[in-house]
Structure 1
Amino acid sequence: MTSLTSFFIPVADQVKQPQHLLLSRLFWLRWAMVAGELVVLAGAHAWLHIALPLTALLGLIGVQALINGATWLRLRWVRPAEQPELFLQLLLDVTVLTALLYFSGGSTNPFVSFYLPALAAGAATLAWPYALLLALCALGAYSGLVYFYQPLHIHDHGQAMAYHLAGMWINFSISALLITWFVSRIAAAVRLRDGQLAQARERQLQSHRIVALGTQAAGAAHALNTPLSTMAVIAGELRREMADNPSLAPYDEELRIVEEQIAVCKAALENMRLDADAQIRNEDSAAITPWLTTLLEGWRLRHPAVLLVAEVHQPGWMASQLQDLSQILLTLLDNAAHAVRGLGHQGEIRIRLTPAESSEATSARMGKKMAVIEVSDNGQGIAPELLQRLGHGPVASSSGGSGIGLMLAFASATHLGGKLKLRSATGQGTVAQLRFPLC
């Protein structure tokens, strides 16, 4: 049962399937041609009073409608439309049009140029061998209509040339509109596909960079573990030596700072290991407010001199991939702390957790509810030329940073299904907005 139903998709989704875009364009082009043929037939019969074999002509237009009905059913089939199938569809259009022209004057019919929309569709959708074969078939049909056709019977022979010129004008207008519409839609689809491919290549290149940085980070963590252990042993021996030698008491504060920094480095390496374990077990989904409160408390211990104002109370909100969120927020908070470092007690950092705006929430992937974490500072801001480059690659700044942390933060936000934005004005501070999905 599953294998049978997998061949069909809902009607509402049929034109969304990439493999059916060309077929759907042909589907609507054929309906436009059917509508034009009916209008021309009605005008020739009712207004110009031209004697036409209405039964045969209407029957052929009905055949076109049946072909389009079959195409509509084909659009519900998931299997991609291949080149031979598209060629066959267009060849059927050429064949039916040839039969219509045979019963209505052949090559003398001013609407003989209705071959052009089908040929334009073939040139835009088919590989050149199929497009050339379709053009040869149309040329052969046109040539045959020069000799084999049923002539039109026009009662007012004095107006025959005027009718012919008017028909040529209508034919040119309809053909031009159909060709313009079809080719422009195909060109738009090609541009969209090229844009999507460019974005995919950019994401792949960024992923390669992130993997390379992750590999380097893992190697650095492994290389730092032994030196840190050695430094911890030496610091312990110095602490015992200081207890036995009172003359070393003035260095107690410096030794305490060294011990704290060693502890911070070892804690960071341990957190890296725990983060990797949590991602493997996929156990990083939790309520946002308690998790964010704990994260901020730990950050305050590292930056006790920085004033941090937090508004993160949103009970009931849940999020996953909290390890990635932690890395993004710690990067943003560290950058904000660096920005207000020279302001003393006037420096301030604010962090807020709010729901995303309705326009952002509705554009979220998979229909998930979105939230926003905003980190702002009242520092000196970021220069416009530097702001444009941050997050897209390593940069060298006057503060000594390299921009790698922000590059990783931008990539992690995209991986989460969210987005990171920076907004800054020189002398007015910086605002970072992280939009991410909730569970």
Structure 2
Amino acid sequence: MDPISQLRREMSAPGVRTAIGAAEGVSNPDTTNRKNLLLLIHLRWLAVAGQVLTILVTEYWFDIQLPLALMGGVVVFLVGLNVFSLFVLRGRAPVTNTQLFVALIFDMAALTIQLYLSGGASNPFVSLYLLQITLGAALLTPWSTWILVLAASACFVFLTFRFQPIAMPHHGGSDLFALHIRGMFICFVLAAGLIVIFMTRINRNLRERDAYLADLRQRSAEEDHIVRMGLLASGAAHELGTPLATISVILSDWRRARVFGRNRELAEDAAEMQAQIDRCKHIVSGILMSSGQARGEGTIHTTMRDFLGDLVEEWRSSRQPLSLDYRNDFTPNEQIVSDTALKQVIFNVLDNAQEASPDWVGVTAERQDEKLVFTVRDRGPGFDKDILAALGQPYMSSKGRPGGGLGLFLVVNVLRKLGGDISARNMTHGACVTLSLPLAALTNGDDHDA
């Protein structure tokens, strides 16, 4: 497969498309809108309870006659609107700005009818329009908010000229004024409290959305980096295949020469060179297999204990550490599909541990619930604080060489693709790196084989 085709295939993957779409601002706001619709539902329940309480206190405490049947009908309408909104939330259809706008318009219409039935603009609760406009400014697009402002203003003007007067009890003017002031105070406290409560929750939803988009942009940049590295590795593997084959052929011809037969030391050097060339060929084949370009061997079904045991043994024989303390406590055993990418991930972690601690490397594999937990320990100097804080970021390394830090960067991204994660910490002597991976990621090869 040529590099251009490979790039197209990688960049058309669903995860990459989603992240790139978010990074370009084509994000799906449905999750935030659903949370905001739920906030409106909660607010409407409070409005229902507040209206019922206000009607009862006005009717039976202050002895002010109200059209209870009509006002009760508005309360029933709000309850029905909330039930309908709950069904909308349970559905799979996205919640749009228009739906939030219509919901606020219905709430404003219900408030207008209640005010119309209870004194119009002279009702101290007329300032609750400001609460709905505030919510609209936080939840809606600018054009929707301005329409809401115009609608509230029109309702206020309407209530100034058209309303049903309420039959007030026979009190003096000062008593009526004091009653109006108390009503205004109750409305002020109610509106202020609701604004603080719901604006706080709305801002939290918006912060969560912004953090989610920032994470998607970061993932998009990392995945683009990985695609480029994969193309580079795949291209290099293709290019290395021909010279390695040529060197192998020439070396085979040399080994048949008489001088190699008479010189034992030279023959041993030639054999070692052939072994290293074969190892290079194996590495190149592994790179091509990881990139999906060599599938001749087919999918390998094995068990978790065998997979880890063979992996550690292969690493031990190729790296030859001075001391490797390996303990496999993974029980009960699990049938899995061998994953080349995970093998390379574990090799990277083991290589880093050996480089930091040539004398001793400790490895433990165990099962925690439905996860594989693979722990690698060393007795080296440990991680710098900056590296721990930015674990997995590219080129974050204390090795001071070009390309340092790419190993952990690839480890983090491969594990993330498989649904796992990585953590690192310093111990009293050395460092500890823990890989956690859901077993479901390895029990079905179709999920990650590509």
TM-score category (smaller protein):
0.7 to 0.9
Q: Which amino acid aligns with 2:407?
A: G
Which residue in 1 is equivalent to 2:24? none
Partner SS, residue 379 of structure 1 = coil
In structure 2, C-alpha distance between the alignment counterparts of 1:83 and 1:413, rounded to whole Å: 37
CA RMSD of the aligned region, Å? 2.7
SS in 2 for 1:217: helix
Matched, 1:317 2:334: yes
Q: Secondary structure at the match of 1:374?
A: strand
Q: Equivalents in 2 of 1:305, 1:80: separation in Å?
A: 56
Tell me the SS of whatever aligns to 1:78: coil
Aligned to 1:39, which of 53, 61, 79? 53
- State the match for 1:411 in structure 2: 413
Give 1:140 shift: 1.8
Task: Specify the alignment match of 2:323 in structure 1.
Answer: 307
Aligned ranges for residues 275-290 of structure 1 at < 5 Å?
275=290, 276=292, 283=299, 286-290=302-306
Pairing partner for 1:348 from 336, 360, 369 = 360
> 2:314, 2:89 → 1: CA distance?
57
| 1:57-79, Cα deviation, whole Å (9 max, x unpaired) | 22222222233233333334433
Query: In structure 2, what is the Cα distance between the partners aligned to 1:292 and 1:220?
Result: 29
- State the partner residue of 2:281: 266
More deviation in 265-274 or 397-406? 397-406
1:144-187 superposed Cα distances (whole Å, 9 cap, x missing partner): 22233233303333422222221111101111122223322222
* Shift in CA distance, 185/280, structure 1 to aligned 2, threshold 3 Å: farther
* Amino acid corresponding to residue 76 of structure 2 in structure 1: G
Matches within 5 A, 1:341-420: 341=358, 347-356=359-368, 369-395=370-396, 397-398=398-399, 400=401, 402-420=404-422
Distance 1:277 1:251, change over 3 A: same
| Partner Cα distance (1:280, 1:413) in 2 | 25
Task: Please report how far the alpha carbon of residue 374 of structure 1 lies from its aligned counterpart in structure 2 after TM superposition.
Answer: 0.3
1:423 pairs with 2:403: no
User: CA contact under 8 A between 2:237 and 2:288: conserved in structure 1?
Assistant: no
Which amino acid in the other structure matches residue 227 of structure 2? V
Write the letter of the residue equivalent to 1:421: S
Q: Which runs of 5+ in 1 are unaligned?
A: 1-15, 342-346, 362-368
Equivalent residues of 2:329, 2:366 under 8 A apart: no
Counterparts in 2 of 1:280 and 1:101: CA distance versus 1, 3 Å: farther
Greater mean alpha carbon deviation, residues 271-280 or residues 193-202:
271-280
Q: Does 1:196 align with 2:203?
A: no
Partner of 2:133: 119
Is 1:61 paired with 2:61?
Answer: no
Aligned counterpart, 2:11: none
Q: Distance in 1 between matches of 2:205 and 2:399?
A: 45
Q: How many angstroms apart in 2 are the aligned matches of 1:207 and 1:104? A: 61
Deviates further, 83-92 or 39-48: 83-92
Write the distance in 2 (CA, Å) between the matches of 1:307 and 1:382.
21
Partner of 1:23: 37
1:312 match: secondary structure: strand
Cα drift, residue 56 of structure 1: 2.5
Tell me how far 1:224 sits from its aligned partner.
Answer: 1.5
Matching residue of 2:160: 146
Q: Which residue of 2 aligns with 1:5?
A: none
Q: How many correspondences in the alignment?
A: 406
Answer yes or no: is 1:436 the counterpart of 2:437: yes
The answer as to whether partners of 2:371 and 2:439 remain within 8 angstroms in 1 is yes
Structure 2 unmatched runs, 5+? 1-29, 441-450
**C-alpha distance after superposition, 1:15-56 (max 9, x if no partner):** x95553333222222111111111112222222222222222
In structure 2, the CA distance between the partners of 1:279 and 1:76, relative to structure 1 (3 Å rule), is farther
CA contact (8 A) 1:278 1:284 kept: no
Q: State yes or no: 1:90 paired with 2:104.
A: yes
Distance 1:355 1:278, change over 3 A: farther
Q: Contact between 2:260 and 2:267, CA under 8 Å: does it hold in 1?
A: no
More displaced 10-residue stretch of structure 1: 277-286 or 267-276: 277-286
Query: Does the 8 Å contact 1:284/1:323 carry over to 2?
Result: no
For residues 206 and 170 of structure 1, the distance between their equivalents in structure 2, rounded to whole angstroms, comes to: 54
Q: Is the 8 A contact 1:242 1:249 kept in 2?
A: no
Q: Would you say 1:338 and 2:352 are equivalent positions? A: no
Matched, 1:169 2:185: yes
The answer to whether the 8 Å contact 1:50/1:155 transfers is no
Question: Which deviates the most, 156-165 or 347-356?
Answer: 156-165
Return 100-109 or 76-85, whichever deviates more: 76-85
AA paired with 2:320?
P
For 1:212-231, list aligned pairs within 5 A.
Answer: 212-231=228-247
* Range moving further from structure 2, 76-85 or 42-51: 76-85
Q: Which amino acid aligns with 2:52?
A: L
Distance across 1 between alignment mates of 2:272 and 2:338: 33
User: Relative to 1, partners in 2 of residues 1:235 and 1:313: Cα closer, same or farther, differing over 3 Å?
Assistant: farther
Change (3 A) 1:117 1:256: same
In the TM superposition, residue 279 of structure 1 has moved relative to its aligned partner by 7.2
**TM-score of the pair, normalised by structure 2:** 0.82
Q: Name the CA distance, whole Å, in 2 between partners of 1:243 and 1:220.
A: 35
SS in 1 for 2:424: strand
Q: How has the CA–CA distance of structure 1 residues 183 and 281 changed in structure 2, closer, same or farther, with 3 Å as cutoff?
A: farther
**1:435 and 1:402 mapped to 2: Cα distance?**
23
SS at 2:256's partner residue? helix
1:349-385, Cα deviation, whole Å (9 max, x unpaired):
11111233xxxx6xxxxxxx22210011112323333
| 1:320 positional shift | 4.5
